[in-house]
Structure formats: structure tokens, C-alpha cells
Structure 1
Amino acid sequence: MSGPTDAESSDSDAEAADSPGTVYLVGSGPGDPELLTVKAKRLLESADVVLHDKLPGPEIIGLIPEEKREDVGKRAGGERTSQADINARLVELAREGKTVVRLKGGDSFVFGRGGEEAQHLAANGIPFEYVPGITSAIAGPGVAGIPVTHRDHASSVSFVTGHEDPTKDESSVNWDALAATGGTIVVLMGVGKLPDYTQALRDAGMDPETPVALVERATWEDMRVATGTLDTIVDVRDAAGIEPPAITVIGDVAGTREEVLHFLR
């Protein structure tokens, strides 16, 4: 049986070049590799290239063969890969016909800029798939023994970023409304701005004795938790040396941690 002619082979190669690969926007969860979804693990094993930052954590990043990794996070000296460069790289790799994983900590559609990447891929004709991850907004408080909702303490929860677009003239977070709403407030990427928003909530009338917890590196081996009140938590942060990545939990649910702490594994 004869093989394809040179012309047929050429047509096949051209067709492959015109068919872009797929980009998978994958959430890696809060950091514990056992909390990776089965699908996320499979994609990390089968992808041609994985673009990641530091938030997935060293154990998960270590699961990726070194030759597949592209670090697009913060580098030594504060240098950072811009979002525009990441977007362009995703399109470039996909147009080479590669299967690409864009790996984020938590869930890529929860303050992970995955929505922006999806829009950019669609605008450039690149097929993509969103692969959910366990968001640290829920898992972070949970592993510290703090439910974000509780029948006796919180019937609502608000998720807020503490790291907005630095080009904005002012914050778009309405702290007055959040203080009035009640329930639980979970702030992601908010360790540095902690003095600003705790003051804003007090100014809006929230009780200074409202319990607050900081969960640093949730689910990682070196995870730490510090607790205080809306009035004391900045001093607690400073005394404990809490650093990013960390979650802030504000509300009565943060006070339930003490009830379960001795039985929490």
C-alpha cells in the first residue's frame, strides 16, 4: 500500500500548523498536592508546556517535569512577567500546536486573572478550557477550622481582593456596604493592606471586637494561623510576622476556631 504523496504530506503539515493547540486554565487548589483534582493532575502530565507562577507551591510545581515548566511569576529583585506577556505567550505556544496548561493557585477564575486570559485567547481564536480548582478563599479558612458560613454566625460570605489594579484612582471595594451587610468577609492577597481595610471597616461602624483570623500558606507544610480582632489584628500580624500568601477572615465565624482547635488535624 503506497504512502501519501509529497503534496498530501505538505497539505497535512499545513493543516496541522493552522490548527492551534488548546490552552487549559487550571486551578491547582491551595497548595497541598493531594487537593489537586484528578483532571488537573492528568493535564499536568500530558501537557507540552506548563506556564506557572509561585502560588501553586513547590510540591505541585515539583510534579511538573522541568523541561515542561515556564515560570511566569515574580523573580528575584521584584521582576515580574507582565500579564500582557503571559497572554502573548499562551497564544504563541497554542499557535505552535502545543497543549498548554496555565497553572494558577486556587481557582483561576477567583481573583486569578483567568477571565482576562480567557478573553484574550478567544479574541485570538485559541480554544481553551477552564478547569476548576479548590479556591483558597474557602479552603484557607476551612483548614484553619473556620467555616466561611455557619447557621449561627453567618448566612452570607463576601470575597474581596486586597490587591486591586494599581492603576485605579481609588478602590472599587465598598467597605461601608460590606460592614453593613454582615456575614463573613474573606480578603485574598490582603496582608499588606490590612491596616487600610480594617480601619475602613471600623470607620463604617463594624464592631472593633469582631473576630479576625489570618491564615498564611494554607494547606502548605509551613502553614500558620494568627487570630485577633478588628482592633488588634494589625499588631497580631506584625508580632507573628505573617506574610503573603495569606487569607484574612473577618466575622464571627473566625471566633469558632478556638472551639475546634484541639481536635483539628
Structure 2
Amino acid sequence: MKFKNIFLFTIVLFAVGLLIACNPVKNSSNKATSILKAGTAIIADSRSIPNKNKYDEPIYFKASGTEPFWGLEITAENFRFTSVGQGFETFNAPHTEPIWAMDTNVKKYRSMPDLGEMKIQITQMPCTDDMSGKENKYQVTVELKRGIDKDFKTFKGCGNYVTDYRLHDIWMLEEINGQSINVPQYGKERPRIEINAEQNTFLGSTGSHDINEKIFFERGLLRFIDIAVPQNLSIAEKDFIKNIQSVTSYKLEDNRMVLFNPSDELLKFRKTD
């Protein structure tokens, strides 16, 4: 009888010990699964934002190159560089304002994070991607130096500005030079423009004639270019075209797009669905 009691007591102790040993593993596993799911959700949300990176910052310039493969994203806050090159897999630096080279369309940036230095040169010159054959508008050179390096590592490639996706819509003219428009002066309908931010094109109407041309976009700059002026325009339509050709910048607020030249507000449009 004593032997039987001792045997049963031993079995109970073994079972209790087994339960205690297993519980932390189970809790740790659940915690790891919870963290994984939360991290996955964050990544999925950030990738769904147009023209934004995983840091939820609007990107206004992208560049890439080969030998080795590398990529650059520029936001209003940061320069973010990635590559497959050893030691330069990631290299981030705070955004700085560019220095314009004299008499050329060349922008130069220099940023010095805590452990290194980054120099970027963006030149407005046609550039063909070595891998895809895609034509780009800018040649890009990135020079990086880590704190332990004596010399810069140079990366060369191509890039383009990323047109503000908020411009991508149909806009109806409301005001010109600060005055509400008189629709009958424009012919059949209210003047409008429809901007395609991905293709950097726009189409629309002066009121009685169609227009269909291109836009040029850089950070803080918007131009409507290569506009073929239709024949037999009314005075109001000619004034509309003249103002469109003079635009250099824009502001978006309250479903309105306001277009400016360096000194004046020229045109105000209302977004329409």
C-alpha cells in the first residue's frame, strides 16, 4: 500500500511539473504570433498609400541604378537609399535644400547624418535605364561615405520626379484673376482640365475647344507645356489659355486647386467627380 501511494504521488508531481514547464512556451508562442500579425498589418497599410514609402512620407523623387542594384527615394523629410552593395544596404539621411549649379539645370544635395555623409546630384538630362530601357528625364549620382570610410562610394543611375497624386482629377474653372467667371463668354461649357498625374498629361476644354497637352512637375513647380492654341477662340478663352501658360505653382485645399505665377493668383478650379 505504501509503495502504491508513493507511486501515485510521484505521478502527480511529474504532471504538475510538466504543466508548469509548458505554460511559458505557450505564452511565448502566442506573444510572438501577436507581434508578427501586428507587424504584417503595419506593412500592408503603408504599402497601400499612393506615392508614399513605408515611413508614410510622400515621395517626390525616385531614382535607381545597377552595378550594384540600388534605389533612392526623396521625401520632404529624408533621403532614403537602399542597395545590394555590401555595407550600403541602407543609408538614410535628413533632407536638405539643394544648391543649384550656375547656368545649368543641376541640383546638388549634401547631408551629413551621424555616421557618414551623402551627396546627391540630379541633372536634367535624358537617361536610359540599363535594365528596362525606360527613358527617364534625369541623370542621378549618389555618393556615400560611412564613418569608417576614407573615400566615397559612387552610384550612378536615372530618376524622375513623382507628380503629386492629388492633382490627378477633373477640375472645373471657378475664378480667373480673382474674379468669378461668366460661363457664356467661354462658349458651350465651363472651362475644365483633367490631369493625369501618372502620365504627366492633361486634357480639357477652353469652353468651346478641346485642349490636350503635357505638364512638367518638380518639387514646388507645376507647368502646363506644349499647348497648341486652338483657332477662333473668344477673348475669354484666349485669356484662359494665357493664364494656363503662365502657371508655375499650385495649392490644393478644400477640393480646390489654385494656380499661381511667381507674383499672382491666376486660376481657381473646383474638383468634380
TM-score of the two chains, using structure 1 as the length reference:
0.33
Of structures 1 and 2, the larger Rg is shown by: 2
If each structure's strand is expressed as a fraction of its own residues, which one has the higher value? 2
Identify which of structures 1 and 2 has the higher relative contact order when contacts are C-alpha pairs closer than 8 Å and 6+ apart.
1
TM-score of the two chains, using structure 2 as the length reference:
0.32
